[in-house]
Copies of this chain bind each other. A is one copy, B any other.
Amino acid sequence: MTHTDLDDVKPRLGRKRDHTRDPEILDAAIDVLAETGYDGMTIDMVAARAKAGKATLYRRWPSKPELVLDAVACMKSNDIDFDALPDTGTLRGDLIAMIKPHGIRDHERKLRVMAGIVSMIARNPELAAAARDALVEPRATVNRIFFQRAMDRGEIPADSDIEKLCMIGPAMVAYSVLMLGEPIDREFLIANIDTVILPAAGVRVATQ
C-alpha cells in the first residue's frame, strides 16, 4: 500500500503472452468440430488435442462460442491460392483444373465443419457470416471468375445468371455429402461438371 515504483505499475515483464500456438489451437478446434459437431465438442477435447491447458484457451477466448467463431473465421487462410488460379482457355478446363486430391479432402473437412454448425447458423448471424466468408465465398469467388471469363470469351450466353451457375457445383457436392451421405471423388466431380454444370451453363462445344 505504500511505496511502489511507478515503473512497476505496469508489469515489469517476464515473457510476453505466447500467441504463436493460437493457430494450432484453432486448428484443433476445427478438427474436433468436424468430428463431433458443435455440441459434441468440449473445451477439454480441444485443449487435449492441441496439447494445451484448458486455462490457456480461456486466457485467449472468453467462451466456447467465441472460440468456435474465431476458429471458423480463421479457416479462410489455408484454402485457395488466388494468385495461381488455372486459366486453361475453356470453362471446362478451368473447372477440371480445380479438382485436386488435396482440394477434395479440404472440401470434405469444410463440409463436416459446416454440418457441425448448420443448426447454430439459423440462430447466430455472426457465426453464419463467418461461415459464409470462410467456407462458401472463397470457392464462389473462384467460380465467378471462371464463368465471367467464359462469358467474355463468348463460351456461354451473355445473359447467363452467373450467381446461380456458381452455386450448382457447391450445392451438388454439399447435397451429396450431407444429405445423401455419399463421399465425393474425382469421377463424381467430373460427371457433375459434364452432365450438370456445363449443360446448365449452355456451353456450346460438345464436351468429351
Contacts and interface: CB of A to CB of B under 8 A. Distances in A.
A174 to B, nearest CB: 6
B178 A121 contact: yes
A167 interface: yes
A190 interface: no
Given A114-B179, A171-B172, A196 B164 contact: yes
A86 interface: no
A188 to B, nearest CB: 10
Contacts of A179: 114, 118, 131-132, 135-136, 170-171, 174
A56 interface: no
A147 interface: no
Contact of A118 (B39, B118, B195, B196): B118
- Majority secondary structure, A binding face: helix
Contacts of A172: 164, 167-168, 171
A181 to B, nearest CB: 6
A164 B175 CA distance: 11
A85 interface: no
A199 B204 CA distance: 12
A197 B165 CA distance: 11
Interface string A79-114: 000000000000000000000000000000000101
A128 interface: yes
Given A119-B119, A168-B200, 9 more contacts: A37-B39, A117-B119, A161-B191, A167-B175, A167-B180, A168-B168, A196-B200, A199-B199, A200-B200
